[in-house]
Structure 1
Amino acid sequence: MDFQGFFCYSIYTCLAFQVAQSTTLAHLKSPLESQHSSEAKIINGTEALWDGTRYQVSLRLTAGEWLFGAGHICGGALISRRTVLTAAHCIWMPASNRFRNASDLSVVVGNLNRYQRDNNTLVLGVSQISVHRDYNATSYRNDVAVLHLNARVPANFTRARAIPLNGDLNLNASNTVCHVSGWGRTENGGYSPQLMVVDVAIVNRSQCATNYGALVHDGMICAGYMEGGRDACVGDSGGPLVCGEQLAGVVSFGVGCAQPGFPGVYTDVASYVPWINNVTKAYEDAGGLSDDGLGNGANGGTNDSASYNGTVNNSGVSMMSCAHALIFALCSLLMRIC
C-alpha cells in the first residue's frame, strides 16, 4: 500500500470509530442531562482492580462489534451465572419506540479493558430480556431489566463472579459510601477503554429531592455528593452501584454529571428483589437455563425476545444501524477521493 492509500485508510478508520462510538451511546443520555451543557463523565475516578469488580459486564450491540469493544452501550452486573441486571433504558430504542431484540445484544466479561480480547475474555449471547412492565421511558420509573444469557458463566471461570443483591430498603436513608464503575466518559472527554470506579455516598431522599423534586420516586436511590465532584453518567448506564459487597443500585439518570445539587439517581435494587426473583424463575420454568446450565422445559431453549414479565413484546427484525450506514457512506466517499 502506498503512502496515499495508507493515509486515506487511516482517516476513514478513525472517522468510522468515532461515528460508531458517539452514535451508539448518544441515545443513552437522559433528557434531564441534555438540559445542561457540561460533558457527561466519570469525574475523579480511578482505574478499577479485579478484586472488587468481577461482577461488572459490558453490554454491547452485536452489530457494533466491527472493532471489539466498539459496540459497548451500557454496563450491567452479573447476579447469577446466567443472569445480568441492567437498566431498562439501555434496552429501549426511543427512535423506534420499542425494545431491542435479545439477538441484538451480547454480554462480555473477563477484562478490565473493553477493547482487549484474550483467553480471559468471555462473550455470551442474550436469549431473552425481561423488562419491568411499568417502566416509563420519560420519568425513568422502574428502570430495570434482566438479561437471561444463552449460556452460564463456567463455574471455573475465575475472571467473573456473581454479586448478591441488597435487600435493605433502609439504605436510602443512610450516608453509606459505595462505589460505581463503568466505561463511560472521563474528565478528558473520551470514553475510557479501562474500567473506572469512583466512590459515592448515599444521599437521603429528602435531601436528593431538594433540586430534583418529584423526579425522584419510590424505587429510586440517590448517590453522590450535594457539592458535586464525583459521579457516573453516559456509557455507565445500567452499571452497578455496590454498597458493602452487595448490588444496591443500577445507574439510571441525572442532571448533568457531578453537578452541585444533583447527585446521581439509581434504580434501588432492594425495591425490585421480588420482581427479579420472579422473572428469573419464570424464565427457568419456561425452559431457560438454570444455574447448572440445563434446560428445564420440555423443549429446552429460549426465545429471542424482550418481554414484560413474560409477555412477548418485541419480535422485530434487526436493521443496520444508522452509524453503520453513515460509516459505509463516508468510507466509500473517502475511497473515491483517495
Structure 2
Amino acid sequence: MNYLELYILAAFFVTTYGNFLDVSVWEDNPEECGRTRFENTTLDVADYSKARVGQFPWVAMIGSIHPDNQILFFCGGSLISKSYVISEAQCGRLGQLVRLGSIKAEDTEEEKDCDECGECALPPQDIKVRKQIFGNDCSLNSVQRIIILELEKPAEYNDFVRPICIPTDAFCHTSRIRQRALTPGFGHIFSTLVGVTERKEKFDDMRYVNSAIVTQEECNAIYPDLLKDGEFCVDYPKGVNHSCVGDTGGPLVEYLKVKGVARAFLIGVAKINPLICEAEDTAPIVYSSVCNYSEWISNQIVSSIEAERKQGRRLFAV
C-alpha cells in the first residue's frame, strides 16, 4: 500500500471514529471495534452455548431475497465497519442482504429478539448489499477465499451492532497454534456446489463454542493435499457433538486486551464443507486466515472510496 492510500484510509477512519490507539496491534482499527456490553473473554465452554443479546454484535447473517420478499439466510459474516462485511467468497455471490444485531436464526420481524435471561435487543438491521468485492480470481478454485460486501447504507452502531477488529501485522506475527478462540453462529451451511444444507439439528438461536487452532500437520493428515496457503484448521472440545456450530463465512474470534479493554479480533473466516457437517463424528473445520488478507481488505476499501469520489457520489461512513 502506498503513502497516498494509507493517508486516505487513515483520514476516513480518523474522521469517522476519532484518533487511533497508539499500540502496534491496533493500527487502523476503529475505536468501537471488538467491544461489547459484556466483559469479553474466551470462556471454557464444554458444549455449544446460547449467545446473549449483544455478546457478538459483529456477527452478520447473509441472505437472498425471494420474489415473495421472503429472506433465506444461508451464510454468516462479520461487520468490520459501518459499511463493510467480510465473508467467504462463495457466500457473497448470492448475497443480497445482510442482517445485523440478531441472535435468532430465522426471520423474527414480528417478535422481540430476547435471550434466556430476558434481555431484549433493538430490532435487527436489514441492509441490502450494494457491491461485492472479490479478489483477482473469483473462480471456485481461487486461492482468494474472502469477499468484502459493501452495504447500501451504513449500519447504525448500538449495543447490539458493532464492528469486530481486523488483525494487524503485530498480531499476526504471533503463533496462534493451540490458541483458544470462539466460534459463534447459527449453523448456516452453504456451498455453491451443494447449495443450502439443512442441518440434522437446526439452531433457532445463535450458539458459540470454545475452539482451538490445530497444527498444519494435524490438519493435513485429515485433509491431505486440500489445505491451501493461508488456511488453517480449528477443532472443538470433546463435549461438542457437532462439526459445524458456526456458519459458512462466519467468524473465528480471538480476544486481546488493548489499552486495558478486551477486544475481539477476526482471525478466521469459516470455509465449511457440508459433507463434514453431515458426518456423525466431528472433524476440524478449515478457516481462511484473515492475517493473509488484512492489507488486501484495506486496499479494497480505499479503492472503493476513491471510485465513489471519482463518480461524484456522496461518500458514506466507512
- Residue 214 of structure 1 corresponds to which residue in structure 2? 225
Tell me: CA distance 1:301–1:105, structure 2 relative to 1, closer, same or farther (3 Å): farther
How far, CA to CA, are the matches of 1:299 and 1:80 in structure 2?
22
How far, CA to CA, are the matches of 1:246 and 1:275 in structure 2?
17
* Residues 1:256 and 2:256 aligned together: no
Please say if residues 231 and 264 of structure 1, whose CA atoms lie closer than 8 Å, have aligned partners that are also in contact: no
- Residue 276 of structure 1 corresponds to which residue in structure 2? 297
* Residues 1:109 and 2:100 aligned together: yes
- Residue 184 of structure 1 corresponds to which residue in structure 2? 187
Greater fraction helix: 1
CA shift for structure 1 position 241: 0.6
Tell me: CA distance 1:170–1:218, structure 2 relative to 1, closer, same or farther (3 Å): farther
- Residue 260 of structure 2 corresponds to which residue in structure 1? none
CA shift for structure 1 position 267: 0.8
Tell me: CA distance 1:134–1:170, structure 2 relative to 1, closer, same or farther (3 Å): farther
How far, CA to CA, are the matches of 1:109 and 1:79 in structure 2?
12
How far, CA to CA, are the matches of 1:271 and 1:183 in structure 2?
26
- Residue 287 of structure 2 corresponds to which residue in structure 1? 266
Tell me: CA distance 1:173–1:65, structure 2 relative to 1, closer, same or farther (3 Å): farther
Give the aligned residue type for 1:125. Answer: K
- Residue 56 of structure 2 corresponds to which residue in structure 1? 53
How far, CA to CA, are the matches of 2:272 and 2:290 in structure 1?
15
How far, CA to CA, are the matches of 1:191 and 1:247 in structure 2?
25
Please say if residues 47 and 239 of structure 2, whose CA atoms lie closer than 8 Å, have aligned partners that are also in contact: no
Tell me: CA distance 1:171–1:142, structure 2 relative to 1, closer, same or farther (3 Å): farther
Matches of residues 227-266 of structure 1 in structure 2 within 5 Å? 229=240, 232-233=243-244, 236-244=247-255, 245-254=264-273, 256-257=276-277, 262-266=283-287
Q: Which has the larger radius of gyration?
A: 1
How far, CA to CA, are the matches of 2:137 and 2:68 in structure 1?
31
Tell me: CA distance 1:230–1:271, structure 2 relative to 1, closer, same or farther (3 Å): farther
CA shift for structure 1 position 259: 6.9
How far, CA to CA, are the matches of 1:154 and 1:285 in structure 2?
23
Matches of residues 312-327 of structure 1 in structure 2 within 5 Å? none
CA shift for structure 1 position 62: 1.6
CA shift for structure 1 position 243: 1.0
* Residues 1:194 and 2:205 aligned together: yes
Higher mean C-alpha displacement, 121-130 vs 225-234: 225-234
Q: Name the count of aligned residue pairs.
A: 238
Please say if residues 184 and 206 of structure 2, whose CA atoms lie closer than 8 Å, have aligned partners that are also in contact: yes
CA shift for structure 1 position 141: 2.8
How far, CA to CA, are the matches of 2:124 and 2:103 in structure 1?
10
Please say if residues 74 and 235 of structure 1, whose CA atoms lie closer than 8 Å, have aligned partners that are also in contact: no
- Residue 306 of structure 1 corresponds to which residue in structure 2? none
Identity %: 24
CA shift for structure 1 position 107: 0.6
RMSD: 3.1
Higher mean C-alpha displacement, 73-82 vs 221-230: 221-230
From 148, 151, 169, the equivalent of 1:149 is 151
Q: Give secondary structure in 2 for the equivalent of 1:286.
A: helix
Is there any run of 5+ residues in structure 2 with no aligned partner, and where? 1-45, 113-121, 190-197, 256-263
How far, CA to CA, are the matches of 1:90 and 1:162 in structure 2?
19
Please say if residues 172 and 205 of structure 1, whose CA atoms lie closer than 8 Å, have aligned partners that are also in contact: no
How far, CA to CA, are the matches of 2:124 and 2:176 in structure 1?
39
Q: Give secondary structure in 1 for the equivalent of 2:293.
A: helix
